[in-house]
Structure 1
Amino acid sequence: PFRRILKDYFMICESYYAAIRTASPAQIEAIDMGRRGLHNEGAQLLAERLRGKIDCDFDTTRRIFTLITALHWKG
């Protein structure tokens, strides 16, 4: 499940960076909302996988997901 989320997340990040150059603020905001939604989905999946092993709140799992995406970034 992480591969799909990471793949989708990186794809939407690329769309976001491309939109910054040419799109309207409303379009950029819509793409960013989608990006944040995927980020939250990844953090929730991570929290489920860590349940019983580590106790952490949602903000912490978001930060860990950010770290995971930074380590997997190939661009």
Structure 2
Amino acid sequence: MPRGRKLTTEQIQQAAADRRNGMTWKALSIKYKVAVNTIRYSLAEYSDEFAPTVTMLRPQLENQLNTARSEKKAGTQ
């Protein structure tokens, strides 16, 4: 599991729109994982000083993914 990052209001709104437009939980999960990995590896190229920030923001992404999982289980996808 990637070590999260802060999601902007626009990203959260886009995720909600994606879900309304029929994007599956799996597709959303992949979309977020790609975004997080891209940022994490980009930051790693520059300096280790960013690592604590990336780690600190992990709970927000996990919360988003857990919400999508809950919706999937409840059938409200």
Establish whether TM, by shorter chain, passes 0.5: no
Question: Which one has more relative contact order, counting CA pairs under 8 Å at least 6 apart?
Answer: 2
What is the TM-score when the length of structure 2 is the normalising length? 0.44
